[in-house]
Structure 1
């Protein structure tokens, strides 16, 4: 029985175009005790492959973290399947603010040690003793309170293109990096300030809020459903939108616009821009911000060196890449020295 992808991203992209059907981009997570993640992983892959679900799903003993797209006409069947799994019944689904039929091009369901790489030893604190969940209206009230410290739990390349006004935005590459930095910077305010956190869909704040309560913070709050749910509530309830710019998302869209503000700059020329791209040189693949003019001038590359490599015949590019390590440490999301106007 097939338990893995057999089509390439390009082949899948062509099939999506030929199908001509609208797809919904959705994300959800749930912390729960899963005895055998591999069995659940296989079950999900078989069921969702039949429904033409595409996306990136992580399953671990501690729960599930899913980012995916599903054909709109299969949504009800997909939801029924979710509800048939006890711990996922009526799980909150974050529907993307902006839809794109090609947000995901493969179905990847992977078993991981954790559903978010937080670097924490969960045995040392009560992960269920979480902060207070608040909706958009209460969140707006809290962040206007002078006794509130608002913290963005995302990475630097996420907050660079969009964040809530007056938020603390740690200059970190990973979620695990931010945890100790935030505690150290706010250690004098564990009792006299309200610690209010937010992230993309809420999952990072789930663990972080319990961790900070364990570390002695007395008043801990988190934005229910993250930026995605906040945006939905703001529109539905006619509330003031206090988010500036774009919300970074981990799919082919790379971002969805929340407000018309452009708060970041092209990393190559410095003009206002908030469009993330990956360097066209596959041996680099650097994630950075690039305007249309620079994309044209640089052939979608981050540097002259990468532009030269990208211009070589494909087989020559493959030869140059052979034997070289490729990892997130090399990708350095927006950190490369070749970028003149990086944050």
Structure 2
């Protein structure tokens, strides 16, 4: 019984290119008790694989966190499946604002200790004592008031290409760092109205509970995150207060919300908001890179990586073996970026 992908990236991309149908990208999460995550994971994989779904899904005792795409002709069957699983019934879904069949190229379903890595000890605080959920329109209206504090609960590489106007954007590379940073940054604002936002809402669930644990009295969060906000604001014809790009954790690495370009090319400093991963695999650093520098450095993040990539024939079996031996060390760097 096949419970994981067995094909190379080249084969998977070729399959996607040959598809004659469209895919829709969707994300969802839920904090819910899952008694047997391994069994739940296996059943989920088989069901989604049978519908030709692709994506990245984490399952833990505390719930599920999913980003995926679904063939358009299988959407009804996908929704029926969600309703057939008690833990997934009436699941709030957030459909992408930009479509691409290449948002994910394979199906990955993993069991994790937590659905969002926060680096905190279990039981450190009451994760159910969350802030008030605000609809996109409520958040939109409140965020314009002078006496509120809008806080971005995403990592710095996300907020550098898109953010709400006048938002506080902590310079943190991980969610754990951000939780600590926000409490310290807002130490003198515990009686203010705090408005939290993130990509889809899941990080704000824990962040709002964390702030309340530290004595913040009026904590609010954008229900459904930026994805829900942009969708509803566009439907209602309102001018978005989120400007730039919304960073997403799939092959697209971003969805255009407004024409504002907030980032800069890491190499030349030119205005740019296109994220790429360094083509030199032992590095694979996430950077913002303009088209000119991408051509100049062959898609690498630096002259050093470009030189190294040209120096080694990575297609040869022996070099691939050496690369795989390096991956455990490199993995620490990649986990931090996630």
TM range (shorter): over 0.9
Distance 2:132 2:177 in 1: 23
Tell me the residue number matched to 2:284.
Answer: 285
Tell me the residue number matched to 2:31.
Answer: 31
Tell me the residue number matched to 2:193.
Answer: 194
Counterpart among 321, 333, 338 of residue 323 in structure 2: 321
Instruction: Find the residue that maps to 1:189 and give its secondary structure.
Output: coil
Tell me the residue number matched to 2:211.
Answer: 212
Distance 2:17 2:208 in 1: 42
Question: Is residue 195–residue 220 contact of structure 2 (8 Å, CA) maintained in 1?
Answer: yes
**Could you tell me the TM-score, scaled by structure 1's length?**
0.93
Question: Is residue 3–residue 42 contact of structure 2 (8 Å, CA) maintained in 1?
Answer: yes
Q: CA deviation at 1:322?
A: 5.5
Question: Is residue 286–residue 332 contact of structure 1 (8 Å, CA) maintained in 2?
Answer: no
Question: Is residue 309–residue 317 contact of structure 1 (8 Å, CA) maintained in 2?
Answer: no
Distance 1:156 1:120 in 2: 20
Q: More displaced, 237-246 or 136-145?
A: 136-145
Q: More displaced, 305-314 or 16-25?
A: 305-314
Distance 1:332 1:82 in 2: 32
Question: Is residue 174–residue 336 contact of structure 2 (8 Å, CA) maintained in 1?
Answer: no
* Matched pairs, number: 332
Instruction: State how 1:243-282 maps to structure 2 within 5 Å.
Output: 243-282=242-281
Distance 1:94 1:140 in 2: 18
Distance 1:322 1:198 in 2: 38
Distance 2:9 2:30 in 1: 28
Distance 1:317 1:290 in 2: 27
Instruction: Find the residue that maps to 1:264 and give its secondary structure.
Output: coil
Question: Is residue 152–residue 170 contact of structure 1 (8 Å, CA) maintained in 2?
Answer: yes
Instruction: State how 1:20-169 maps to structure 2 within 5 Å.
Output: 20-169=20-169
Tell me the residue number matched to 1:300.
Answer: 299
Distance 1:317 1:248 in 2: 33
Distance 2:321 2:115 in 1: 35
Question: Is residue 172–residue 181 contact of structure 2 (8 Å, CA) maintained in 1?
Answer: no
**Could you tell me the TM-score, scaled by structure 2's length?**
0.95
Q: CA deviation at 1:145?
A: 1.8
Gaps of 5+ in 2: none
Question: Is residue 83–residue 90 contact of structure 1 (8 Å, CA) maintained in 2?
Answer: yes
Distance 1:328 1:242 in 2: 36
Instruction: Find the residue that maps to 1:327 and give its secondary structure.
Output: helix
